[in-house]
Amino acid sequence: MKALPSENDLLRRFESLFATRRRDVKVGVGDDAAVLAAPALLAVCTDALVEGEDFTSGTDPYLVGRKALNVNLSDLAAMGAAPLHALLTLGLPRQTPVAWLDGFLDGFRAAAREQAVVIVGGDLSASIERFASVTALGRVPASGPLRRGGGNPGDELWVSGTLGAAAAGLSLVLRGYRRDREGKVTAPHGRRVSPVRRDEIARLLRHLLDPRPMIDLGRMLAEGEIASAAIDLSDGFARDLHRLCRASGTGACVEREALPVDSGLATMPGLPSDPYDLALFGGEDYGLLFAVPPQRLRAMGKVAARFAVRRIGRLDATSKIVLAEGGRLSPLPDRGFDHFARDAR
């Protein structure tokens, strides 16, 4: 197993991998700081993945690399920003195999190419656990950024994609299932993967391990001034809805039957018996939850024709967040993923 080379060798490797001639990058990787030509207002965000907390040691490093960038791009999507640049900080144990680093960088570069993101700097450090911290920068549209706090009573609530697939994927990972970059699934303890379940297991694992940021949707909502508020769904639908409502100073009523609960939650053995539990509180869906004022619903029709989005409820003037079902209202608790909870994983 080939160990990591010296820091200088690694830095030269990074300079070669991430060299660019793009005109907005005046000084890129290889100097004390990057120098960028900012085209307009910039949205800046940062997120980290830590081994043992955000990914397991058995996760394909290619997928870790992709996710490290894409969870940041999801934050930019929620602001309606177009991704431009990123900085990567890696912490690696000294015994990390070179093959792990190569796989990570291949995945990171692949995700960057997909969204035309240029890597302009970062840092390297020896660490007890592997971690990747990314800072991403994106161009804010001339109409301004989407914010969590722009919603008003009467605005409709919409969500993209399905809910709960990533949480189901996490349940599978914790039971020992693995998926590689080609989509091949392996079962725990060398057991055979049922052909009937193989594709569904692969799909649920993909949602967890390789999330896709909704960049185009976020830009369309912001540039067309269609949404009044937005947030990306990272810590669970319920928790992120509470955050949007707190920022907007509103309550919300969500129609339980309108929620796009992922179809795999009801059919995959070993998952909680109530699919809504994972859909509401599971986390890492990385879709967008957003509010649309009544006067923008005609424009929203164009969005709905292009993206998988669904109307799920409405903001209101109360301070309560409730689920509606069959004429009955029940409180929707502020519950979801918490890094510092004892049962976070």
Domain coordinates of the chain in residue numbers? Answer: 7-139, 148-331
Check residue 343 and give its pLDDT: 58
Q: Is residue 269 over pLDDT 90?
A: no
Strand intervals (E) in the chain: 25-27, 35-36, 42-50, 82-92, 118-126, 131-139, 156-160, 178-179, 185-186, 229-232, 251-255, 288-292, 309-316, 321-325, 328-331
Count Cβ atoms within 10 A of the Cβ of residue 110 and give its class: 0-12 exposed, 13-18 middle, 19 or more buried: middle
Three-state secondary structure call for residue 333: coil
99-134 pLDDT tens trace: 999 999 999 999 999 999 999 999 999 999 999 999
Percent of the chain's residues with pLDDT above 90: 81
Which element (helix H / strand E) includes 205? Answer: helix 195-209
Residue 226 CA to residue 206 CA, distance in Å, equals 30
Class for domain 7-139, per CATH? alpha beta
Q: Between the CA atoms of 111, 279, 295 and 216, what dihedral angle is there, to the nearest 10 degrees? A: 10
222-253 pLDDT tens trace: 999 999 999 999 999 999 999 999 999 999 99
In this prediction, residues 263-289 reach a mean pLDDT of: 91
Q: Is residue 8 over pLDDT 80?
A: yes
Check residue 1 and give its pLDDT: 64
Residue 127 CA to residue 130 CA, distance in Å, equals 7
Check residue 344 and give its pLDDT: 54
Domain 7-139 matches domain 148-331 at the CATH topology level: no
Residue 315 CA to residue 333 CA, distance in Å, equals 16
Higher pLDDT, 326 or 196: 326
Residue 117 CA to residue 109 CA, distance in Å, equals 9
Which of 133, 146, 137 has the alpha carbon at shortest distance from 37? 137
281-329 pLDDT tens trace: 999 999 999 999 999 999 999 999 999 999 999 999 999 999 999 989 9
Residue 25 CA to residue 35 CA, distance in Å, equals 6
Residue 248 CA to residue 316 CA, distance in Å, equals 10
What CATH code is assigned to 148-331? 3.90.650.10
In this prediction, residues 167-192 reach a mean pLDDT of: 92
Please, which residues have CB within 8 angstroms of residue 328's CB and are 6 or more apart in sequence?
A: none
Residue 237 CA to residue 110 CA, distance in Å, equals 28
